[in-house]
Amino acid sequence: MVQNDAFRVLDRQECLRLLAKVPVGRVVYTRRALPAVLPVNFALDSDDAVLLCTSAGSDLVRAIDGVVVAFEGDEFDPATRSGWSVVVTGRADVVTDPAEHERLSRSGPASWMPVRNEVFVRIAPEMVTGRELGTR
């Protein structure tokens, strides 16, 4: 295996710091027994959970509520061949507590798509991994 000084594994705090800088990521989940990926806007909560806002009746909510998913965010520059990628893996749950829903309605992410019966989905940051590729 070739040693690459430009490749670096990121620690949890650095992963979360980088993830907080980008507005869009991808939810990786299972749909009809097949892998699925959906780009979504998001925010990180104070406990580092990934928060999504969507419609209560959406296919996404039906597919991910109560199951383990992955969430990926990244930033790359093709000109310099550098960038980073962070993956958060954990259980996704619809926020059902009325007080928590109210708090997130004020301070959580707003969907970029029109939504009906807004719900928030929380992805617990059970495993956070990342890597950076640079031109060092």
Entry pTM = 0.90
pLDDT of residue 7: 85
Q: Distance (Å, rounded) from C-alpha 87 to C-alpha 80?
A: 22
Tell me, what amino acid is at 135? T
Q: Distance (Å, rounded) from C-alpha 111 to C-alpha 120?
A: 10
Tokens of 66: 């109560």
How sure is the predictor about 2, in pLDDT bands with cuts at 50, 70 and 90? very low
Q: Closest by alpha carbon to 70, among 24, 111, 25? A: 25
| pLDDT > 70? residue 5 | no
* Mean pLDDT across the chain: 92
Tokens of 95: 């926020």
Mean pLDDT of 118-127: 96
Q: What pLDDT, in 10s, does the model give residues 28-39?
A: 999 989 999 999
Q: Is 32 left (phi over 0), alpha (psi -120 to 50) or beta?
A: left
H-state helical runs in the chain = 12-19, 59-64, 98-107
Q: What pLDDT, in 10s, does the model give residues 67-116?
A: 999 999 999 999 999 999 999 999 999 999 999 999 998 888 888 877 77
